[in-house]
Amino acid sequence: MKMILDGRNLTLEEAYRISTGNVQLEIAGEAIEQLQKTRDLVYRLADSDVPIYGFTVGVGWNKDKHVFGSYFEQYNRNLIYAHCCSIGPALSEEKVRAVLLARLNTLLSARTGIQLEIVDMYKEFLNRGIHPVIPARGSVGEGDIVNLSHVGLAMIGEGDVFYKGSRVAAMEALNAEGLKPIVLGPKDGLSIVSSNALAAGTGALAFEKAKRLVEVANAVYALSVEGLDGNITPLRPEPNAARRMKSQILCAEGMRKLLDGSYLEKKGITKTLQDPLGFRCASAINGTVLDALDYIRELLTIQLNATDDNPCIILENEEIISCCNFEITNWVLGFEMLGQAVAHLARSACHRTIKLSTPQFTNLSRFLSPREGEVQAYQTIQKPFTSLDGEIRHLMNPANTDYFSVAGDIEDHATNAPYVIEKTEKIIDNAFYILGIEAMHAAQAVDLRADIEMGKGSKLLYDAIRAKVPFLSIDRPLTPDIQAAYEVLKSDALLDGLRTIAGGI
């Protein structure tokens, strides 16, 4: 598959596909033309007496130190070296690809003045599978300079990269692919290190994982409400339309499609009249995650398709202007919101799972045992899923305001963006485990009801779970079952099937 990047039209879904798949990239001709024009401007300004941050003068507290033209290559190399101070563990190759893509596409906005050879190297790294080893930690989220410097290190033939399944010296990979290391020139070092590509790239991956979580959560609810013998009238279109919340309406519609053909459709209002809120409000709670994603989508899409460089080249005026384009508080707050929304989704799943183990709600056996007193079944498993929820409770606490004033008290604002993304992704992953455990309970409850007619989507999920997690007829170690259910819920095969029935979101 081929894709052309122009710096203006990259979607979050495309960013996910490029980062996780084998997509060959090309750069639009008009973007290359603009890049060349800005590079020409850089050379015209190189001999001027105008002080330009990170170009003719230093960066941070050294903004008063002049950089002479004859020293450009060594100065930019030193800038890369000095900023290589991030802390492991190393990012996964999937995340490195997301980082490379995020920076490549923003460079195509032609606001940095970077040399074309470096832009081409980003493309070649992605196309040839050369992935610089980037330590994940150390950025305060006001430009991921300490992490992205490792990309520059690989481009000049130093440091390590992941290449063809191994960690090798960068120069070894460059030689294997017939690529020459970059010779740095004016403005190049700062253009490589000074962006929010780590947070933006990994944020695009987290965004897609959260979308998938909602689609899976809708299906797990459908299976659980069948296991409960619950009331699905809250999913009817009329009350949801009256509420006018787009996300709630969308989730309720998807849940109805997943339950199409279920025995619950024939029952109308059940004898309980109103189920516990974790069941009754599932469409609204899951929809909250969609609301957070809607907020993020707009701002993060702009982030991936516009410059976040300081200084900013204004080609029309032949100027390089100091600015605050690296400031990303607006969309970082969106990920804090997303983490809290997923926390509500996960907590509700925990409550539904406990209800499925409680006879007063299901009229089934305690802990869904096939033979009470002989088989303990899903008793102790309540500890691990509530433990995961406890982790989420702490991870959802905001981290975006925890920063110091650094660099000689010049840099007195930050967002901790990469950590915010990291902890949000962990919340999402914990939620997948929690939903997997709920799906195990739901499938067990459905089996104990015996021969009920299931909905199209709930049956699809049931079959996928049962293919990996058999009916709990006797006590057995449940750790393998938990992992298997988690992997089922994260699988592309399940997601594709659910989308065929319920549509996407």
In tens, the pLDDT along 38-61 reads 999 988 877 666 665 555 555 554
In a domain, 316, yes or no: no
Question: What's the pLDDT score for residue 173?
Answer: 98
Same domain, 176 and 246: no
Identify the helix (H) or strand (E) that includes residue 482: helix 479-489
DSSP string, 334-364: HHHHHHHHHHHHHHHHHHHHHHHT-HHHHSS
Structural domain including 460 reads: 203-311+325-502
Say whether both 366 and 262 belong to one domain. Answer: yes
Listed in sequence order, the DSSP H helices in 179-276 are 188-193, 197-228, 237-243, 246-258
Across 118-132, average pLDDT: 98
Question: Mean pLDDT for the chain?
Answer: 94
More confident residue, 155 or 61: 155
Q: Is 89 left (phi over 0), alpha (psi -120 to 50) or beta?
A: beta
Query: Which of 160, 195, 230 represents a domain boundary (last residue)?
Result: 195
Beta bridge partners of 162: 131, 167
Final residue belonging to a domain, choices 129, 163, 195: 195
Could you say which of 195, 220, 254 is where a domain stops? 195
Burial class (CB in 10 A: 0-12, 13-18, 19+), 117: middle
* The pLDDT of residue 208: 98
What pLDDT was estimated at residue 274?
A: 86
Question: Can you give the CATH number for the domain in which 414 is found?
Answer: 1.20.200.10
Distance CA 94, CA 113 (A): 28
Inter-residue contact 130 to 122 (CB < 8 Å): no
Percent of the chain with pLDDT over 70: 94
pLDDT digits (tens, 9 = 90+) for 477-501: 999 999 999 999 999 999 999 999 9
Same domain, 406 and 494: yes
Tell me, yes or no, whether 419 and 281 share the same domain.
yes
* d(C-alpha 199, C-alpha 103), whole Å: 11
3-state SS assignment for residue 88: strand
> Do residues 144 and 50 both lie within one domain?
yes
129/216 same-domain check = no
The CA–CA distances, whole Å, from 11 to 6, 40, 297, 449 equal 12, 30, 9, 45
Q: List CB contacts of 505: < 8 A, sequence separation 6 or more.
A: 211, 214, 215, 250, 251, 254, 290
pLDDT above 70 for 175:
yes
107: CATH: 1.10.275.10
CB 248 within 8 A of CB 287: yes
Count: domains in the chain: 2
pLDDT at 285 over 70: yes
Grade residue 62 by pLDDT with cuts at 50, 70 and 90: very low
The rounded distance, in Å, linking the Cα atoms of 160 and 253 is: 49
> 474-494: b or e for each residue (b if 16 or more CB lie within 10 Å)?
eeeebeebbebbbebbbeeeb
pLDDT band of residue 25 (cuts 50, 70, 90) is: very high
Checking if the pLDDT of 18 tops 60, the result is yes
C-beta atoms surrounding 119 within 10 Å: 22
Q: What is the mean pLDDT of residues 188-205?
A: 97
Same domain for 225 and 176? no
Cα first-last separation, the chain: 24
What average pLDDT does this structure show over 194-209?
98
Tokens of residue 184, six digits: 């740095």
* Mean pLDDT value across residues 106-111: 96
pLDDT at residue 226 tops 90: yes
Mean of pLDDT values over 238-244 = 97
HSE on the CB side for 126, CA within 13 Å? 31
Residue 53 forms part of a structural domain = yes
129: left (phi over 0), alpha (psi -120 to 50) or beta: left
Is the same domain home to 21 and 89?
Answer: yes
165 & 67 share domain: yes
Q: Within this chain, do residues 251 and 371 fall inside the same structural domain, yes or no?
A: yes
Do 50 and 88 fall into the same domain? Answer: yes
Same domain, 105 and 183: yes
Report if residue 334 sits inside a domain.
yes
Kindly list the distances between the CA atom of residue 253 and the CA atoms of 162, 215, 287, 495, in Å, as whole numbers in the listed order.
44, 12, 11, 17
The answer as to whether 320 is a domain residue is no
